[in-house]
Structure 1
């Protein structure tokens, strides 16, 4: 992408005013569905951060850069907490355990090409100063100003204290659903143990935005 080209990803600023509602990925899905208004995929420029204030610290925008690969353009502060650094510009697969990235890349390909929605159940096994965590991620396709499906809105909700960063996750369940209907695919690894997350309190919202 030419850096001199106008792109709303570069200029729209998200400033949370407080948490409203619960940190549930379904709230983001419902908002995305409302934006469609009969269209297959809504536009990136239609997003109003005020409508998803309760999820801003967990929400992100990604941009497709190659088949099966996308990078963060905008990312909430909770993602930086989990990674231990600013995630802008990093591949979204950075949060996925290397052994699980091939399947995740296939889901990203379908997200943009079909297009489709993607839902993941996640597990981060405990270790030294790292409590076991469970999480959920949703990825929802968006159109750019050019009309191509090259953006996606998503959120990563994790219950529990992040502990020592970085945290990476195994995919314990993966569901891909074409936005125009069709069969939902479900994958359930049999050897995935359950983690017991601790409740995580956040006194305020912070959001990191891409220049």
Structure 2
């Protein structure tokens, strides 16, 4: 394709452009997650609005922690279903990974949940009959549940290459886990007094006075005895 390439020969690599296009969902979801984490805390699962990542939805998924190093897919995009040739919601995330590399995936998952870390993983599909060369990138980002515990995550999986015969499982080429955000809730600061407001006076209860006994009243009826 003609253009202004770096080789000064008017050639632009279509492969590079395709990689950039494929990586767009990864960038979109990470940017959206960082915007939600503007206060320096891991976002809540309830803050995720699908409309904010609409173009990345086929590649995105939501998962829940079921063990220190295991996550279960709760919602999965159509691209994950296409790779596995079946509905992936309800499956463990490790089902997408080749058995020999599931321990490495578990280590990354455990750090995402325990440290609020971000995991970027480069993958290559297993090859065989009807399964040609395919590569993929995965991004894992932590989320908090409504209770405040870090037991949720949002992720993205984007592949390059013909899917071919399913299911397609992936080996890990490289995994990078970087520090994330704190999940600790920061207490709200105490309200400041404004202007010339005076401190409130201390409350002093009134002294307890003894209650006087009720006065005896004369009877309403009087018995008069007459012997006449």
**Range into which the TM-score falls when normalised by the shorter chain:** 0.7 to 0.9
Aligned to 1:27: 28
**Superposed counterparts of 1:12-161, under 5 Å:** 23-161=24-162
CA–CA distance in structure 2, aligned partners of residues 55 and 24 of structure 1: 5
- Judge conservation of contact 2:65–2:151 (CA < 8 Å) in 1: yes
The SS at the match of 2:172 is: strand
Larger-gyration structure (1/2): 2
Question: Higher RCO, 1 or 2 (CA under 8 Å, sep at least 6)?
Answer: 1
**Which structure 1 residue ranges, 4+ long, deviate > 6 Å from structure 2?**
none
After TM superposition, give the deviation of residue 22 of structure 1 in Å: 6.5
TM-score (norm 1): 0.73
The SS at the match of 1:55 is: helix
Inter-CA distance 106–21: structure 2 relative to 1 (3 Å threshold): closer
The SS at the match of 1:163 is: coil
The SS at the match of 1:24 is: helix
- Judge conservation of contact 1:22–1:54 (CA < 8 Å) in 2: no
Where do 5+ consecutive residues of structure 2 fail to align? 1-20, 183-228
Question: How many matched pairs?
Answer: 162
Inter-CA distance 139–129: structure 2 relative to 1 (3 Å threshold): same
Inter-CA distance 66–21: structure 2 relative to 1 (3 Å threshold): closer
Aligned to 2:177: 176
CA–CA distance in structure 1, aligned partners of residues 83 and 179 of structure 2: 29
1:164-185 CA deviation, whole Å, 9 max, x = no partner? 100010110101011149xxxx
After TM superposition, give the deviation of residue 96 of structure 1 in Å: 0.7
1:133-155 CA deviation, whole Å, 9 max, x = no partner? 01000000001100111000001
After TM superposition, give the deviation of residue 23 of structure 1 in Å: 3.8
After TM superposition, give the deviation of residue 54 of structure 1 in Å: 1.2
CA–CA distance in structure 2, aligned partners of residues 34 and 117 of structure 1: 15
CA–CA distance in structure 2, aligned partners of residues 126 and 102 of structure 1: 20
Q: RMSD value over aligned CA atoms?
A: 1.7
The SS at the match of 1:122 is: strand
